[in-house]
Amino acid sequence: MSHPNSSRTPAVVLDRVTFSWPDGTPVLRDTSVAFGPGRTGVVGANGAGKSTLLRLVGGRLRPQAGSVTTHGEVGYLPQQVTLATDATVADLLGVRAVLDALRAIGRGEVSEAVFEAVGDAWDVEARSAAVLDAIGLSAIGLDRPVGTLSGGETVLTALAGLRLAGFPVVLLDEPTNNLDRPSRRRLREQLASWRGALLVVSHDRALLDLMDDTAEVRDEAVSVFGGGFTAFTEHVEQEDAAARRALRTAEQALRAERRQRIAAETAIARRERAGRTARENREAPPIIMNQRKSNAQAAAGRLRGTLDGRVEAARRAVDEQAARVREDDGIRVDLPDPQVPSGRRLAELHDGERVVVLQGPERVALVGRNGIGKTRLLEQLVGRLDRGTGHAADHDVSAVALTERIGYLPQRLDHLADEQSVLDAVRAAAPGAAVGEVRSRLARFGLRGADVERPVGTLSGGERFRVALARLLLADPPSQLLVLDEPTNSLDRSSVDALVNALSGYRGAMLVVSHDDELLSRLAVDRWLELDEDGLRER
């Protein structure tokens, strides 16, 4: 891939970096890469090492070999913003020490320590208010406990703190996870005008398209492409198509060389038979016949050596071209028909004033801000909550299931028993299916051979997701209604594609909670419901 920003001084440089986990699992091997002073999106499959790369750049991990150089201090926003329970907005902004010193001076303290703590930051309260106002959080006070903020408010405030600190290099790890639409929009607005070097790990396509460059972590290496995510994916698709064409050409050449090798062996065998017949018929003196035999054997050996070399060269060419082709990790499975006619009523959602009926094979999106009660409503629908406990604080909304055949994919895949094997986890949803049939179906989800005997607790996040999806879609009898709660959180692009491909053939009803508009578009949603403080309404 192209190397961007070659004319600009890089902000981050990895020089022949090697890093492996204590169990020997490699992440990066002899990797050299430079990140420019602008915005770089970091992409790659789940488990490829994206978060590890950020931790190496931020100095939280050290490579076993090589070096990491950053031009300036590094600010870091991890996936989970964890703070002490007594932390405040000032702590999240990184201004607590200065604010405390200013307040001490206001009370009359004149010690050298408090003046050193303030330094030149006498306007810290005004600057803090300005950055909070810029992200739409002007009403949040600096002393407000972080525990009272929503997830989106917490992430945006932490981001404001990084901006306020003026770090030359900032690292963001999945900043939009679990954020609602307004929070995602405000975060993108902040990053669109970001000054300084920015490395962002994300699966959010809209966010990644704001980036100047795209870095991919793959096969224990990092490559950088000059452009946003859409341009990057188009480039990858073109490269992969070219690689597949080159592979087909190499395979054809290998077949041709093998045919020539077989033809040559046939010709050699015919000549050997003719030589034996000539010797048996004493067509020439023995010394001449022996010399002819020796010459023929030498010529056959040279020919075999030449042809074997050409076959081996063709085989190496096939291997080289195959290595350039990206593995197709998609899911292709024929799903049973759950028999859901258009008038079949499957569920009801009540908000005290109206009843929303889910019926037939329709696909419904349920949206609303974080904390409004979407997950509690889904859990009540699938039987994880009693009817009386499924209400959010600001409204009275409840759910009633009208079918027992409901499949549920929760936000966290904690419904799978870690000690259970992959095979047993899926068979539990289809107890009548033969072992061989379940194995065959699992293979179509990319789970093959010994992998199906592994305990679920040993799987990567992407593998665990595939088990949960297989269990959901291979249930017997098939679910008439699928309930999906933020199914793409923390999924890489291939896993999202796998989800969409698998669901494309589903002929039942679907209720999906998601902040991912791209996913909802790809799932061909028929109806949109919004949950807010006043209850449910159609969009």
pLDDT digits (tens, 9 = 90+) for 222-281: 999 999 999 998 998 888 888 888 888 888 988 888 888 788 778 877 777 777 787 777
Q: For residue 360, is pLDDT > 80?
A: yes
Closest CA to 370 of 158, 512, 532: 532
What gap in Å lies between CA 18 and CA 273, rounded to an integer?
A: 60
Please tell me the predicted confidence (pLDDT) of residue 490: 65
What gap in Å lies between CA 25 and CA 338, rounded to an integer?
A: 42
Please tell me the predicted confidence (pLDDT) of residue 421: 93
Q: For residue 186, is pLDDT > 50?
A: yes
Say what angle helices 229-280 and 286-324 make with each other, to 10 degrees: 170
Look up tokens 């405000």; give the residue.
186
State phi, psi for 278 to the nearest 5 degrees: -65, -40
Look up tokens 């028999």; give the residue.
339
Q: For residue 57, is pLDDT > 90?
A: yes
Of 37-41, 98-102, 229-233, 258-262, the poorest mean pLDDT is in 258-262
Please tell me the predicted confidence (pLDDT) of residue 472: 87
> Residues near 462 by Cβ (< 8 Å), separated by ≥ 6?
45, 46, 47, 491, 492, 494, 495
- Rounding to the nearest 10 degrees, give the CA dihedral for residues 354, 360, 366, 372: 50
**C-beta separation of 535 from 352 below 8 A:** yes
User: pLDDT grade, residue 2 (50/70/90)?
Assistant: very low
Q: For residue 329, is pLDDT > 70?
A: no
pLDDT digits (tens, 9 = 90+) for 467-513: 888 888 888 889 999 999 988 876 777 778 878 888 888 889 999 99
What gap in Å lies between CA 184 and CA 239, rounded to an integer?
A: 32
- What is the arithmetic mean of pLDDT over 380-390? 62
349: Cα separation from own chain's centroid: 32
**C-beta separation of 537 from 369 below 8 A:** no
Collapsing DSSP to helix, strand or coil, 351 comes out as coil
Q: For residue 386, is pLDDT > 70?
A: no
- What is the arithmetic mean of pLDDT over 462-467? 81
Q: For residue 167, is pLDDT > 80?
A: yes
Q: What percent of the chain has pLDDT over 70?
A: 93
Q: For residue 327, is pLDDT > 70?
A: no
Q: For residue 365, is pLDDT > 90?
A: yes
What gap in Å lies between CA 351 and CA 537, rounded to an integer?
A: 9
User: pLDDT grade, residue 384 (50/70/90)?
Assistant: low
- What is the arithmetic mean of pLDDT over 356-379? 89
What gap in Å lies between CA 253 and CA 247, rounded to an integer?
A: 10
Q: Cα–Cα distances in Å, from 434 out to 332, 424, 430, 439, 476?
A: 20, 12, 9, 9, 12
* 194 DSSP 8-state letter: -
Q: Cα–Cα distances in Å, from 357 out to 360, 365, 483, 527?
A: 10, 13, 15, 11
Neighbouring C-beta atoms of residue 392, cutoff 10 Å: 19
What gap in Å lies between CA 340 and CA 408, rounded to an integer?
A: 17
The pairing of beta strand 169-173 with beta strand 74-77: parallel
The stretches of 71-228 forming alpha helices (DSSP H) are 89-93, 96-106, 112-118, 124-134, 151-165, 181-192, 205-208
What gap in Å lies between CA 265 and CA 494, rounded to an integer?
A: 46
Please tell me the predicted confidence (pLDDT) of residue 3: 47
Please tell me the predicted confidence (pLDDT) of residue 16: 96
What gap in Å lies between CA 31 and CA 461, rounded to an integer?
A: 25
3-state secondary structure 51-72: HHHHHHHCCCCCCCEEEEEECC
What gap in Å lies between CA 76 and CA 376, rounded to an integer?
A: 32
What gap in Å lies between CA 537 and CA 415, rounded to an integer?
A: 31
Please tell me the predicted confidence (pLDDT) of residue 44: 87
Which of 45-49, 95-99, 212-216, 429-433 shows the highest mean pLDDT?
212-216
> Residues near 106 by Cβ (< 8 Å), separated by ≥ 6?
none
- What is the arithmetic mean of pLDDT over 175-184? 81
State phi, psi for 167 to the nearest 5 degrees: -60, 135
Neighbouring C-beta atoms of residue 311, cutoff 10 Å: 17
Please tell me the predicted confidence (pLDDT) of residue 5: 47
Q: For residue 53, is pLDDT > 90?
A: yes
pLDDT digits (tens, 9 = 90+) for 125-158: 888 888 888 888 888 888 888 877 777 788 888 8
Of 32-36, 225-229, 378-382, 412-416, the poorest mean pLDDT is in 412-416
- What is the arithmetic mean of pLDDT over 27-37? 94
What is the number of residues in the chain? 539
Q: Which helix (H) or strand (E) holds 443?
A: helix 435-443
Residue 504: both structure tokens together: 């494309």
What gap in Å lies between CA 522 and CA 502, rounded to an integer?
A: 12
**C-beta separation of 523 from 384 below 8 A:** no
Q: What percent of the chain has pLDDT over 90?
A: 26
User: pLDDT grade, residue 15 (50/70/90)?
Assistant: very high
Q: Which helix (H) or strand (E) holds 365?
A: strand 363-367
pLDDT digits (tens, 9 = 90+) for 391-448: 444 567 889 999 999 999 987 777 788 899 999 999 999 888 888 888 888 887 778 8
- What is the arithmetic mean of pLDDT over 38-58? 90
Q: Say how many CA atoms lie within 13 Å of 90 toward its Cβ.
A: 17
